[in-house]
Amino acid sequence: MPTMDEITSSEPGDLFHVIFTTSHIQKDPRGEMEKVRIPGTYTSIGAAKAAAHSCLFDAGYEREWFSKYETNPEVFESLGIRQRAGLAVFATAPDGTTFRVRIHTTPNVNHLTTSYEDGRIPVDLYYVVQANVEYADGQGGELRDINIEGTFKSYDEARDFARGVLLSEEDGISKQSFAQYDEAGPNERDCGYGENVIVHAEMESVRLAEATMKIS
């Protein structure tokens, strides 16, 4: 891995993150066993798309292993896949496991750059990830909406940011605004909902919305 001195000074305005999720909704309707991984961050959409399309194969999977493997946005629409924004790959396994590879764009607020030809940011990053899921009338959860809220160079920076993402003094949103609000203690790395889940909150409405702030 190159040092910061080896990274060029050319600074992109946006960063493009590859988000890889696996879930088995049939066996786990609340999505509690959904796994989220961020294989890499890139300085161009072209580089991120190339990485997204090779993501499953880089992870050791083979094309023949999937009962369905799609990369065409028009096919995504015809299949009725919800939350298609940024979706690059949609695949399913014979046992019902679903694989999604998405590209999520965020401003390059930390002025990250790279000298790698593939556009990959070469430094270790910590991501604050917000996962939202809705439940209707006590039924199974809809597919989670997963977004990267912040990218940081240290765990402590990411943790401090994650603690306040769901709150807004300006809009009058506090911990008391939620039906349930769980937050990891000062020396803890989870709030009881999985490793590195810093905040888990639920709010009552016509549908129950659940938001989880996780550091990946």
Nearest CA to 20 among 45, 41, 37?
Answer: 37
Comparing 77-81, 158-162, 184-188, 209-213, which segment has the lowest mean pLDDT? Answer: 209-213
Q: Phi/psi at 138 (nearest 5 deg)? A: 75, 5
* Per-residue pLDDT tens over the stretch 3-27: 333 333 456 789 999 999 998 755 5
In a 13 Å sphere around the CA of 176, the CA atoms on its Cβ side amount to 2
pTM of the model: 0.83
* Per-residue pLDDT tens over the stretch 131-157: 887 665 545 555 567 889 999 999 999
The arrangement of strands across the sheet holding 98-107 comes to 35-42, 14-23, 98-107, 87-92, 68-70
Residues β-bridged to residue 120:
42
Long-range contacts of 196-201, Cβ-Cβ distance < 8 Å, separation of 24 or more: 198/159, 198/162, 198/163, 199/162, 199/163, 199/165, 199/166, 201/166, 201/175
